[in-house]
A = this chain, B = another copy of it.
Amino acid sequence: MSNLANNIESYIKCLLNASPNAAILLQRKELAERFQCVPSQINYVLSTRFTPERGYLVESRRGGGGYLRIRRLDLNRDKVVQLLEMLRGLVEDGISFQEAIDFVGRLTDARIVTRREGQLIKAAVCQDARQMEEEFLRSTRAIMLARMLEILLQDS
């Protein structure tokens, strides 16, 4: 269903797509006015949708002439390989379910995996807890994700 947050999110993404370098500069107040909401609603959207985990970078500046700069960091294959390295190294820390979901989102956005493949990965990674501890789950998830990524990166 379409709520304010979703609308603002799509609007920003649309602007980002239209931008040649996947970066936009805008004002919080203006955006809030366009959607007829309080300015802090913009912060809500930014903090829930445009997170680093999802591949976005937000900078801002207060005061007169203040602004918001939103950038989308696109993953390329090399970056994924790097991330994979990290992931393998960090098997102890593991990865949360949400982090995994966000990561897969980035992969699909960057066309590194298809939508269907992305869903497949998510399905695999979303194991239900049952008697397992979160500690253990995190690490299992990381291992599995790493293995799946390896497969996807090696061919094609």
Contact = CB atoms under 8 A, between A and B. Distances in A.
Interface of A: 1-6, 25, 27, 61, 64-67, 115-117, 119-128, 140, 143-144, 147-148, 150-152, 154-156
21 contacts: A1-B65, A1-B66, A3-B64, A3-B65, A5-B65, A6-B65, A116-B117, A116-B152, A116-B155, A117-B117, A117-B120, A119-B151, A119-B155, A120-B148, A121-B124, A123-B147, A123-B148, A124-B124, A124-B144, A124-B148, A126-B147
B25 A65 contact: no
Contacts of A25: 1
A1 B143 contact: no
Contacts of A144: 123-124, 127
Contacts of A1: 25, 27, 61, 65-67
Contacts of A127: 140, 143-144
Contacts of A65: 1-6
A120 B152 contact: yes
B151 A128 contact: no
Nearest to A61: B1
A68 B67 CA distance: 31
A143 to B, nearest CB: 7
A152 B116 CA distance: 7
A144 B117 CA distance: 15
A69 B106 CA distance: 24
